Amino acid sequence: MERRAQLATNLARVRARIADACAAAGRDRGEVTLVAVTKTYPAADVLSLAELGVRDIGENRDQEAAPKAAEIAAHGVEVRWHFVGQLQRNKARSVVRYADLVHSVDSVRLAAALADAVERGRDRPLDVLVQVSIDGDPRRGGAAGDELDRVVAAVAERPALRLRGVMAVAPLGWPAETAFARLAEVAQRVRDRHPDATVVSAGMSEDLEAAISWGATHVRIGSALLGKRAYPG
């Protein structure tokens, strides 16, 4: 019960921050979805969050997400699973079984692997975001420049995938405002060609306000909700 109360308190704080950021930006609160990133935390926390009304859950490793999703489903609780981490192609077949939105498609080969996996093992298309590398350094995931255009095209050409928008993580050492301003430009460019690509997944515990001021529709919040992680996940 103590844990549950802690989560409720944290959730109230995060919701207030989101509401304040929307108000400051002149945006409707309904435009921003809170994704609770539960990596390294147990399924019991997902159940508590679901009871508190959080129905969008993010994970970054298939090895952890797949059994957690199965456990939540076994409880008869429905949540939307967001896959937010770097994804290896050999995990595509597992991820398409439970994920509702994959935020981290950053290569032509990964797009193809996901589309193939959907065709073999899923009865409906998979929603995906293309991950943008804001500083062009691919080590933290994401694509930039011409490569980004190629990934967008690779997603758009496969009926098994639905291009829903873009995602980014602010590069280390960058002011969040600068990073998310740049992402907003990229998001607009993608939307000019693909009008259904309306999602902008940006903002984490430290920088959700900056992300919302630059048009984020999905914020991915881990530590501010669940506590500091004992290991990075």
Ligand X SMILES: *Cc1c(COP(=O)(O)O)cnc(C)c1O
Taking CB under 6 A as the criterion, the residue among 65, 84, 160, 186 binding ligand X is: 84
Taking CB under 6 A as the criterion, the residue among 85, 142, 165, 215 binding ligand X is: 85
- By CB under 6 A, the residues from 140 to 169 that bind ligand X are 169
Complex with ligand X: residue 35 or 117, whichever CB lies closer: 35
> What's the Cα-to-Cα distance from 119 to each of 97, 115, 176, 180, rounded to whole Å?
11, 6, 38, 34
Q: How far apart are CA 121 and CA 93, in angstroms?
A: 7
For residues 198 and 217, the answer to whether their CB atoms sit within 8 Å is: yes
Cβ at position 76, least distance to ligand X in Å: 27
Taking CB under 6 A as the criterion, the residue among 10, 60, 107, 213 binding ligand X is: 60
Contacts of 138 (CB under 8 A, 6+ apart): 106, 144
Spatial CA neighbour of 182 closest among 223, 142, 222, 140: 142
Residue type, 206: E
Residue nearest to ligand X (CB): 222
With binding defined as CB under 6 A, does residue 220 bind ligand X?
yes
**Residues in contact with ligand X, total (CB under 6 A)?**
15
With binding defined as CB under 6 A, does residue 221 bind ligand X?
yes
Taking CB under 6 A as the criterion, the residue among 142, 165, 215, 222 binding ligand X is: 222
Complex with ligand X: residue 29 or 229, whichever CB lies closer: 229
For residues 151 and 187, the answer to whether their CB atoms sit within 8 Å is: no
With binding defined as CB under 6 A, does residue 18 bind ligand X?
no
Query: Which region, judged by CB under 6 A, interacts with ligand X, from 7-15, 24-32, 122-130, 216-224?
Result: 216-224
Complex with ligand X: residue 197 or 202, whichever CB lies closer: 202
With binding defined as CB under 6 A, does residue 129 bind ligand X?
no
Taking CB under 6 A as the criterion, the residue among 7, 33, 38, 39 binding ligand X is: 39
Q: How far apart are CA 179 and CA 159, in angstroms?
A: 31
With binding defined as CB under 6 A, does residue 66 bind ligand X?
no
* Count of CB atoms situated within 10 Å of the CB of 137: 12
Angle at which helix 43-51 crosses helix 62-74, to 10 degrees, equals 50
Taking CB under 6 A as the criterion, the residue among 14, 148, 204, 211 binding ligand X is: 204
With binding defined as CB under 6 A, does residue 46 bind ligand X?
no
The CA dihedral of 117, 122, 128, 131, to the nearest 10 degrees, is -30
Residues binding ligand X (CB under 6 A): 37, 39, 60, 84-85, 169, 204-206, 220-224, 233
